[in-house]
Amino acid sequence: MKEYKVFLREDEIPKQWYNIQADLPSPLQPIIHPGTGQPIGPQDLAPVFPMNIIEQEVSQQRWIDIPEGVMEKYLLWRPTPLHRAYALEKALGTPARIYYKNEGVSPPGSHKPNTAVAQAYYNKVFGIKRMTTETGAGQWGSALSFACCLFGLECKVYMVRISYDQKPYRRIMMNTWGATCVPSPSKDTNAGRKTLEQNPDHPGSLGLAISEAVEDAVTSKDTRYSLGSVLNHVLMHQTIIGLEAKKQLEKFGEKKVDVVTACAGGGSNFGGIALPFVLDKINGANITIVPAEPTSCPTMTRAPFVYDHGDTAGIIPWAPMHSLGHTFVPPPIHAGGLRYHGIAPILSQLIIEGLIEPRAYNQLECYAAAVQWARIEGAIPAPETSHAICTVIEEAKKAKEEGKEKVILLNWSGHGLMDLGGYDSYFSGKLIDYPLPEEEMKKSLKAIEGFPKPKMMKKGKPV
């Protein structure tokens, strides 16, 4: 009988996260403070993050123990299953063997609690009693609400008002886990009040929600802010995905992986599955590692490497990242999770080093792939996950043309059951494709003219 999925026993779950900072051929560039123009120190981040997380952010230690307190919570849904996509292989007529790591089985339905739980734990240990964050449609907000609930922390989520009004289900999830979710702009912060004074019916924006969450964290007692992507420690917490997958592939009898792929917005789910395999590649393995992104928001496939703000409001110190400029607002696409305007600095460095090879797909192609997946493999993927499904299909067809038995690994980062409106728009023909024109790209990049440029390093040498 064929094995369709492999589970690890709970005592087989990896006990450490992998920190790729220890193995990068070139070290990451320092983060520059926007006020001083100087590299930041731990105290600059202390108003928004607890010191134990800041230590992880800058750590060069290769393996970091997963605390028992985090592991206990991980075991609520981890280890997640690794599936073999036999039906898709058959439908494509490919000799490739396709595997997918199902992160949609977590309580909030995505990979995001892998770091939300860790961040909540470290805040709790540090003595923090309350956490804040922002959310658009609610995926990250619900993950942090879940995590704070597990550790008895208060959680305040600033949800962009128009989504708050239109998308009640994620908000109800947050409430169910005990979080306070308020529409942004709110009356709870200076930034929100000022906006409401000018326009009581303001529908909100993600930049304003970030401003409120950070202001709340900085000005409230025993409170810190949480970010669900981009930062080094966030990617490290997610490596549990790839480390589990390695063990599960061995149980499937696989000795080698040819392609690893995931979608990449801020980079956390891609980093989660890919970084343990990047280590293999650094050590000589021949693996094609593909972060997939939308053609309409090309942070990796077209943008240059510059310093940029990590948030649209410009509060968090600058970090070097592949960027379209902090003022960039992507054109309309379906995948809310891929909206971040800058990829994680670690992934930027891996692109420069040639260790990962980003690809871009248009939204109609992605929805077609998502629907094909749902009709063959059953589960409905999150819209952003569909970008990586495009890579899988592309590579599986290539294997067929070449007659090669490739092994393809996908991070199936979350289900799409909270985003059926996007599918509805696709079926009703409301979606359009919009690759970013060169002229528009140039206009956007004008926003960052005059910003300091980081040194580009490859294998430890300036390029």
Partner 1 sequence: MEEYDELIIRCPQLGGEVPFRYCRTLNEDLPCRKIIICWEFRIEISKFLSEHYSFDQIQRALAPPSKTRIETILELIEKAKKIKEEG
- CB of residue 77 vs partner 1: minimum separation in angstroms? 23
Cβ neighbours of 440 (radius 10 Å): 14
Amino acid identity of residue 257, one-letter, is V
Position 203 contacts partner 1 (CB under 8 A): yes
Among 73, 156, 233, 334, binds partner 1 (CB under 8 A): 334
CB 263 within 8 A of CB 292: yes
Task: Name which position in 237, 281, 339, 359 contacts partner 1 (CB under 8 A).
Answer: 339
- The whole-angstrom separation of Cα 419 and Cα 338 is 14
Candidates 281-289, 335-343, 349-357, 403-411 — which segment interacts with partner 1 by CB under 8 A? 335-343
Nearer to partner 1, 41 or 421 (CB): 421
Using CB under 8 A as the binding criterion, the count of chain residues that bind partner 1 stands at: 57
What residues between 48 and 87 interact with partner 1 by CB under 8 A?
none
Residue 286 touching partner 1 (CB under 8 A) = no
Q: How far apart are CA 208 and CA 191, in angstroms?
A: 7
Among 113, 272, 337, 414, the residue binding partner 1 under the rule CB under 8 A is 337
Rounded Cα distance between 194 and 192, Å, is 5
**Residue 77 CB neighbour total at 10 angstroms:** 15
Residue 245 or 418: the one with the smaller Cβ distance to partner 1 is 418
Q: Determine if the peptide bond prior to 34 is cis (ω within 30°).
A: no
* Residue 34 is a binding residue for partner 1 (CB under 8 A): yes
> Residue 334, CB half-sphere, CA atoms under 13 Å: how many?
32
Residue closest to 116 by CA, chosen among 261, 251, 225, 277:
225
Chain positions 365 to 404 lying near partner 1, rule: CB under 8 A, are none
Q: Which residue has the tokens 């970091």?
A: 64
Contacting range for partner 1; rule: CB under 8 A; set: 61-69, 235-243, 274-282, 420-428: 420-428
**Least Å from the CB of residue 323 to partner 1:** 13
Residue 456 in contact with partner 1, rule: CB under 8 A: no
Query: Nearest approach, Cβ of 162 to partner 1 (angstroms)?
Result: 6
264 lies in the site for partner 1, by CB under 8 A: no
- Binding characters for partner 1, 342-361, by CB under 8 A (x = yes): --------------------
Binding piece for partner 1, criterion CB under 8 A, among 177-185, 230-238, 400-408, 423-431: 423-431
Q: How far is the CB of 326 from partner 1 (least distance, A)?
A: 8
Instruction: Choose which of 257, 343, 431, 457 interacts with partner 1 (CB under 8 A).
Output: 431
Cβ closest to partner 1, residue 78 vs residue 322? 322
Q: Tell me whether strands 407-412 and 97-102 are parallel, antiparallel or unpaired.
A: parallel
Q: Please, what is the Cα angle at 206 between 140 and 235, to 5 degrees?
A: 40
335 makes contact with partner 1 (CB under 8 A): yes
The answer to the question of residue 279 lying near partner 1 (CB under 8 A) is: no
Residue 299 sits in the site that holds partner 1 (CB under 8 A): no
Residue numbers at the binding site for partner 1 (CB under 8 A): 34-35, 136-137, 139, 160, 162-163, 166-167, 189-191, 194, 198-199, 202-203, 205-206, 211, 214-215, 218-219, 296-297, 309, 313-315, 325, 327, 329-339, 419, 421-422, 425, 430-432, 434, 436, 440, 444, 446-447
